[in-house]
Structure 1
């Protein structure tokens, strides 16, 4: 599933404004050095936590995490990890209540809800934006009343990590 550039920029902007990085690398003292495989495994766990908090039976899209470019740093050594997936099956009212439940339950799991409400778009898409500052992740979760492909309602979940630098001697693997 393709995610619009606007949605990606929104989540990155929200995340970078509210969490930031705390460890150091030689090039930029604010970018932590972490193995890409470690962040890949961790973001899967973060996504699973969000799915568990949705607490509904339904279908989940299959794509795994992908690697993106940081807003700064070298393309070969700096990266962000993104995991975008969708959840569908329950009716509109049930999915909307699930998003409300996420707003309520995410803080108990270490997340800070930064924004909740309709987006300024023609569909007035109900959106929840949250940060997990301890683990350095951001989430943008949207309730879509109708998917373009089949008209069914869904939740679109986008999780993004902080910007990281690969360990010395390694290069970013793009996938």
Structure 2
């Protein structure tokens, strides 16, 4: 499913492609994250979001930070990451008191603008060595023709969309990591932040 959506132009993405009911936090996350949230990490023909396990919201958010940190380590060039924390959103068509997903939008700013290409190429090479399957790599339809990379990790029940924004001031990689559906332990409710 990622391949199909990622190759469409933004005006060709159908509402049925994105099945996540957005919380107020999700409204600030760019459209690129929304295309990730309705897809499965393990069956390209399925609209089902994979089950990621049972977890408290804070524990799942901490795990999401570890996923993002692992991606940061693969960048392999000097630079700085934005200081953002993961958030919690609903899990499409599931009880919002018991099910949730985590998302983590962040940016990477290389110390040198010339390192942006190196960072993107390293991610393209290194992600598959660490359990990620690249499901799309190519330019988007924006005026800047930004390079996009979309990858799934079945073991981590996570997906990432990376956009190389070389014409941004300053140049950066924009990263959006999302999880599968978690269920809170019995007797607990989803904590939103």
Q: Does 1:88 align with 2:88?
A: no
User: In the alignment, which residue of structure 1 is the partner of 2:73?
Assistant: 52
Aligned-residue offset at 1:74: 1.7
| Equivalent residue, structure 1, for 2:4 | none
Query: For residue 165 of structure 1, what is the aligned residue in structure 2?
Result: 183
Q: Which deviates the most, 119-128 or 45-54?
A: 119-128
Corresponding residue for 2:29?
3
Which residue does the alignment assign to 1:43?
Answer: 64
Aligned to 2:7: none
Structure 2: tracts of 5 or more residues without a match = 1-27
- The answer on 1:140 being equivalent to 2:161 is yes
Residue of structure 1 in register with 2:84 after alignment: 63
CA-CA distance at 1:166 after TM superposition: 0.9
TM-score of the aligned structures, taking structure 1 as reference length: 0.84
| 1:141-167 CA-partner distances (Å, limit 9, x unpaired) | 1111233xxx21000111111011111
- Per-residue CA deviation, residues 30-89 of structure 1 (Å, 9 max, x unaligned), is x74322233122111111110000012112111111111111212222111011110113
Residue 115 to residue 37, structure 1, CA distance change in 2 (3 Å): same
Contact 1:78 1:166 in 2 (8 A): yes
Name whichever of 44-53 and 68-77 sits farther off: 68-77
What is the aligned length?
A: 162
Match for 1:129 among 134, 147, 150? 150
